[in-house]
């Protein structure tokens, strides 16, 4: 691989490329990348043949299952599994065939509240709204920074130019964020909002819509239930009642409500900032409520539903697998199940606490929980208590260094690529498939091949089924699903070969489709779980919260915790700094650039501070995914030279949305003080 360049002919990106993509070259050639299975005995590592590794892992898993039952096995599926087509087509089988409640994925520190809102309001967690930015006249954006993140729960290349398009059309973008972000700079207006207060702000918006007679249900009026309940629920939340809690003036809330309703096509979009907080469930629900009662649900320029080539929403309707919530609860903390998984905040205690149902084995696929989980040091100290830890990962990193076995798959351009999961939230109906550019070596295995072999050796899949599945590589499954999908008839039949042949296909902008997905179901505006949770918000509004509030930050050249071994992506200045408002610094006698002590209820770190009025007074911001230097036993030789502490030393597993179980990574109370040494410098 000599260079990576954007492709101007690409139907979707049109020549836009994310800076992280350049880092793929470094990962591809990375001498630290693992290519053969590793086995750890104490602190020594030994390379194994695949045959032997599968044999040993299979045997150990079988023995554990026999002795303690399936529920002693926990599985974590990390973020990259969402972008790995084989992990989705084949990985899920393992996930489902081992009868354990201990399934964990990154979504419980990410988008779970959005899925829960869809499940509760539309009856299906896969019916996910996507903001139709390209045709909207008014975008109200909360807790998202798509110019840096590349868009999330919304797939749109070159978000910056799309946002600029809204303003060029004479529209407006209002960003509500405790930090004036890179995306806020594309907005016509940015307002600070106090972390964790979005649900109160949104209830006040709803309140004004009712009070001023602006509620307009539009085309879907006859399908909506609970309008009166919503009016009653929001009646206590006048803008004047919430302004102090939110840090947004009542007059501004009233004005925004009016603007939102007066715009021809408006959409409210909220992302991780509204999800990974104390009231993630309420906030995600209220975003869809606001879109619904302003007549912007399933309408052009509003919150729409993508008819993806592989139509996972419709497939889940047809198969009746619409998702679930709270069918059962976790053993130790009594946390609700969602879609057959427990929230990640439950895992450490489930390993630590003995008794029937204790987690004794962990299979981690494409995850780095020792950096990415809330209170990650606690998980780190729980991991050695496991009887077996198997990691499927390309690196020996901060987490996998604790594994008994690391099974390293092929990576990136050695794989066929299709965005099976995220295409459902694409802002256009596109089909793009990238053939692998490098043929894997004989001694390498794809993620999906590793899964199949594990199922077989563990005894969850018969040899016959495993060998049949082996003849069905991910691309064949994608092809079959495309043919039966909604575009199967597009230009004489959409199939993988036609997509590949054309270099990708664009089948146009989003089209209204919610009624087809809902079938006979209605839209529940006020599902009981939310009505009940509002009481918790009311009491939080009276609380005093001393100290500063910590929020996160994503940086353009980081990808959560795992691309810092790329020299290209980590060149230049230290990006893992604590942003602090000058007023807060003055009060604490803290100078720009000095190293400060940051303490929370769970841990403390030392970090360099950068003063800026881009953060709200009372709020400090620190990116996650760093902390490599603290882990000398990791095999990431370059990452270990990258500065920056692990933000998740500060986040607590006790901080989660009581409704959904989603980790509250944002909104942790911290105390920041000058370090004695920094005076001497
Ligand atoms: N404080 C704080 N913490 C956060 C967040 C935050 O905003 N603030 N964000 C949260 C969010 S949204 C997420 S999604 C999580 C992410 O956290 P994780 O799910 O733990 O994912 P990553 O940190 O991205 O680590 C990915 C791992 O996958 C490996 N990998 C990469 N590609 C492949 C592949 O193709 N196959 C395999 N088998 N392995 C691969 C990498 O080596 C790495 O070990 O972090 C969460 N943690
Ligand atoms: N470059 C880069 N891109 C990424 C990633 C990465 O690590 N680096 N990670 C990927 C992943 S896994 C994900 S899930 C997506 C996430 O995509 P986004 O959700 O767009 O991610 P963030 O940049 O974390 O944006 C969250 C915003 O919420 C704000 N915020 C924090 N707390 C609150 C609050 O209580 N209320 C409000 N209103 N705002 C708040 C933060 O200041 C921040 O601006 O990004 C993906 N893209
Ligand atoms: Mo994420």
**669 Cα to the center of ligand 3, angstroms:** 22
Residue-wise pLDDT tens digits, 550-560:
999 999 999 99
Q: Are 426 and 151 in contact (CB under 8 A)?
A: no
Q: What would the two tokens of residue 466 be?
A: 């495993």
Predicted pLDDT at 502: 84
**Ligand 2 atom 39: residue of nearest CA:** 143
CA-based nearest residue to 455, from 2, 19, 98: 98
Residue to substitute in 17, 106, 139, 143 for testing ligand 2 pocket (most ligand atoms within 8 angstroms of CB): 143
Predicted pLDDT at 178: 98
**Ligand 1 atom 24: residue of nearest CA:** 560
**Ligand 1 atom 13: residue of nearest CA:** 106
Separation between Cα atoms, residue 300 and residue 31, nearest integer Å: 49
Answer whether residue 272 shows pLDDT above 80: yes
Answer whether residue 13 shows pLDDT above 80: yes
Residue to substitute in 23, 142, 273, 371 for testing ligand 2 pocket (most ligand atoms within 8 angstroms of CB): 273
Separation between Cα atoms, residue 411 and residue 370, nearest integer Å: 21
Residues constituting the chain = 681
| Ligand 1, pocket residues at CB < 6 Å | 78-80, 84, 106, 109-110, 272, 365-369, 372, 392-395, 397, 409, 411, 447, 552, 560-562, 624-625, 647-648, 651, 665
Q: Which ligand is nearest to the CA of 80?
A: 1
Answer whether residue 679 shows pLDDT above 50: no
Is residue 524 within 6 Å of ligand 2 at its C-beta? no
Predicted pLDDT at 681: 42
Answer whether residue 464 shows pLDDT above 90: no
Residue to substitute in 24, 77, 79 for testing ligand 1 pocket (most ligand atoms within 8 angstroms of CB): 79
Could you tell me the CA-to-CA distances from 466 to 61, 103, 379, 621 in Å, in that order?
A: 17, 22, 33, 47
Residue-wise pLDDT tens digits, 139-187:
999 999 999 999 999 999 999 999 999 999 999 999 999 999 999 999 9
Predicted pLDDT at 295: 98
3-state secondary structure of 164: helix
Q: Across all residues in the chain, what is the average pLDDT?
A: 95
Residue-wise pLDDT tens digits, 282-341:
999 999 999 999 999 999 999 999 999 999 999 999 999 999 999 999 999 999 999 999
Is residue 143 within 6 Å of ligand 2 at its C-beta? yes
> What mean pLDDT comes out for the span 536-558?
95
Q: Which atom of ligand 2 is nearest to the CA of 146?
A: 20
**667 Cα to the center of ligand 1, angstroms:** 21
Residue-wise pLDDT tens digits, 215-250:
999 999 999 999 999 999 999 999 999 999 999 999
Write out the DSSP string of 443-470.
T-B-HHHHHHHHHHHHTSS-HHHHHHHH
Residue-wise pLDDT tens digits, 366-393:
999 999 999 999 999 999 999 999 999 9
Q: What would the two tokens of residue 179 be?
A: 């930090």
The phi and psi torsions of 228 (rounded to 5 degrees) equal -65, -40
**Ligand 1 atom 2: residue of nearest CA:** 624
Looking at the DSSP assignment, which residues form a beta bridge with residue 297?
A: 303
**88 Cα to the center of ligand 2, angstroms:** 24
> What mean pLDDT comes out for the span 111-125?
98
**276 Cα to the center of ligand 2, angstroms:** 9
Answer whether residue 680 shows pLDDT above 60: no
Separation between Cα atoms, residue 343 and residue 340, nearest integer Å: 10
**76 Cα to the center of ligand 3, angstroms:** 14
Answer whether residue 58 shows pLDDT above 60: yes
**Ligand 1 atom 46: residue of nearest CA:** 372
Q: Are 582 and 593 in contact (CB under 8 A)?
A: no
Separation between Cα atoms, residue 662 and residue 652, nearest integer Å: 12
Separation between Cα atoms, residue 363 and residue 380, nearest integer Å: 15
Could you tell me the CA-to-CA distances from 437 to 9, 43, 54, 225, 502 in Å, in that order?
A: 18, 36, 27, 51, 17
Helices and strands (H, E) in the chain, number of each type:
26, 25
Q: Are 233 and 200 in contact (CB under 8 A)?
A: no
What letter would DSSP give residue 87? I
Is residue 107 within 6 Å of ligand 2 at its C-beta? no
Residue-wise pLDDT tens digits, 469-528:
888 999 999 999 999 999 886 666 788 988 988 889 999 999 999 999 999 999 999 999
Predicted pLDDT at 460: 84
**441 Cα to the center of ligand 2, angstroms:** 37
Separation between Cα atoms, residue 84 and residue 537, nearest integer Å: 38
Q: Which ligand is nearest to the CA of 143?
A: 2
Answer whether residue 677 shows pLDDT above 90: no
Is residue 277 within 6 Å of ligand 2 at its C-beta? yes
pTM: 0.97
Residue to substitute in 35, 38, 80, 600 for testing ligand 1 pocket (most ligand atoms within 8 angstroms of CB): 80
Residue-wise pLDDT tens digits, 181-213:
999 999 999 999 999 999 999 999 999 999 999
**Ligand 2 atom 10: residue of nearest CA:** 149
Separation between Cα atoms, residue 114 and residue 112, nearest integer Å: 5
Mode of pairing for the β-strands spanning 361-365 and 388-392? parallel
**Ligand 1 atom 45: residue of nearest CA:** 372
What letter would DSSP give residue 640? G
How much of the chain exceeds pLDDT 70, in percent? 99
Could you tell me the CA-to-CA distances from 156 to 114, 301, 386, 496 in Å, in that order?
A: 18, 14, 41, 22
- Radius of gyration of the CA atoms of the chain, in A: 24
Q: Are 16 and 157 in contact (CB under 8 A)?
A: yes
Q: Which atom of ligand 2 is nearest to the CA of 110?
A: 14
In the sheet with 405-407, reading across from the earlier edge strand, the strands are 44-47, 38-41, 405-407, 388-392, 361-365, 73-77, 103-105
**Ligand 1 atom 28: residue of nearest CA:** 366
**149 Cα to the center of ligand 2, angstroms:** 7
The phi and psi torsions of 419 (rounded to 5 degrees) equal -80, 75
Q: Are 267 and 131 in contact (CB under 8 A)?
A: yes
Within 10 angstroms of residue 196's Cβ, the number of other Cβ atoms is: 27
Answer whether residue 93 shows pLDDT above 90: no
CA 85 to chain centre: 17
Q: Which ligand is nearest to the CA of 131?
A: 2
Residue 199: CA count within 13 A, CB half-sphere: 25
3-state secondary structure of 104: strand
Is residue 175 within 6 Å of ligand 2 at its C-beta? no
**Ligand 2 atom 33: residue of nearest CA:** 273
């Amino acid at each position: 691989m000599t260079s990576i360049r954007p492709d101007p002919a690409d139907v979707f990106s049109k020549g836009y490329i994310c800076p992280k993509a350049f880092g793929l070259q470094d990962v591809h050639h990375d001498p630290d990348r693992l290519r053969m299975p590793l086995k750890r005995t104490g602190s020594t590592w030994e390379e194994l043949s695949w045959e032997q590794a599968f044999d040993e892992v299979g045997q150990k898993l079988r023995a554990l299952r026999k002795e303690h039952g399936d529920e002693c096995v926990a599985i974590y599926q990390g973020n990259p599994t969402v972008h790995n087509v084989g992990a989705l087509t084949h990985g899920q089988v393992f996930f489902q065939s081992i009868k354990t409640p201990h399934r964990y994925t990154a979504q419980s520190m990410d988008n779970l509240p959005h899925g829960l809102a869809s499940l509760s309001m539309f009856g299906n967690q896969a019916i996910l709204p996507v903001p139709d930015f390209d045709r909207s006249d008014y975008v109200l954006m909360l807790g998202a920074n798509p110019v840096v993140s590349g868009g999330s729960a919304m797939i749109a290349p070159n978000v910056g130019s799309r946002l600029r398009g809204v303003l060029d059309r004479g529209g407006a973008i209002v960003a509500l964020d405790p930090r004036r972000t890179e995306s806020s700079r594309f907005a016509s207006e940015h307002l600070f909002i106090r972390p964790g207060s979005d649900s109160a702000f949104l209830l006040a918006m709803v309140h004004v819509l009712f009070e001023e007679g602006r509620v307009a249900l539009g085309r879907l009026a006859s399908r909506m239930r609970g309008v009166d309940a919503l009016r009653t629920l929001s009646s206590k939340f006048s803008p004047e009642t919430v302004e102090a809690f939110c840090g947004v003036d009542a007059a501004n809330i009233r004005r925004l409500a009016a603007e939102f309703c007066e715009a021809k096509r408006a959409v409210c979009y909220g992302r991780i900032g509204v999800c990974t907080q104390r009231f993630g469930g309420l906030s995600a629900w209220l975003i869809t409520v606001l879109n619904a009662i302003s007549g912007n649900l399933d309408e052009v320029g509003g919150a729409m539903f993508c008819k993806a080539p592989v139509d996972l929403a419709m497939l889940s309707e047809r198969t009746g697998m619409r998702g679930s919530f709270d069918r059962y609860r976790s053993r130790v903390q009594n946390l609700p199940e969602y879609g057959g998984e427990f929230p990640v905040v439950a895992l450490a205690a489930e390993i630590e606490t003995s008794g029937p149902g204790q987690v004794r084995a962990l299979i981690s696929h494409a995850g780095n929980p020792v950096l990415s989980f809330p209170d990650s040091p606690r998980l780190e100290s729980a991991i050695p208590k496991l009887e077996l830890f198997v990691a499927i990962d390309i690196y020996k990193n901060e987490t996998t260094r604790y594994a008994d076995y690391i099974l390293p798959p092929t990576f990136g351009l050695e794989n066929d690529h299709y965005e099976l999961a995220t295409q459902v939230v694409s802002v256009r109906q596109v089909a793009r498939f990238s053939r692998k550019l490098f043929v894997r070596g004989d001694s390498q295995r794809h993620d999906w091949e590793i899964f199949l072999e594990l199922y077989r050796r563990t005894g969850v899949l018969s040899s016959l089924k495993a060998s049949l599945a082996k003849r069905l590589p991910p691309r064949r499954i994608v092809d079959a699903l495309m043919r039966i999908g909604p575009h199967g008839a597009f230009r004489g039949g959409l199939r993988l070969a036609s997509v590949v042949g054309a270099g990708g296909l664009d089948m146009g902008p989003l089209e209204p489709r919610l009624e087809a997905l809902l079938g006979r179901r209605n839209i529940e505006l006020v599902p009981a779980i939310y009505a009940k949770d509002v009481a918790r918000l009311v009491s939080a509004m009276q609380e005093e919260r001393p100290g500063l509030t910590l929020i996160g930050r994503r940086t353009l050249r980081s990808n959560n915790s795992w691309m810092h071994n790329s020299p290209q992506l980590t060149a230049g200045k230290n990006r893992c700094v604590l942003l602090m408002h000058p007023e807060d610094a003055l009060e604490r006698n803290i100078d720009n650039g000095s190293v400060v002590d940051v303490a929370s209820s769970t841990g403390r770190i030392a970090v360099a501070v950068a003063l800026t009025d881009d953060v709200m007074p009372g709020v400090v911001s620190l990116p996650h995914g760093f902390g490599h230097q603290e882990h000398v036993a990791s095999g990431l030789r370059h990452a270990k030279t990258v500065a920056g502490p692990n933000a998740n030393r500060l986040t607590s597993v006790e901080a989660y949305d009581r409704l959904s179980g989603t980790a509250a990574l944002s909104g942790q109370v911290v105390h920041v003080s000058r370090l004695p040494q920094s005076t001497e410098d």
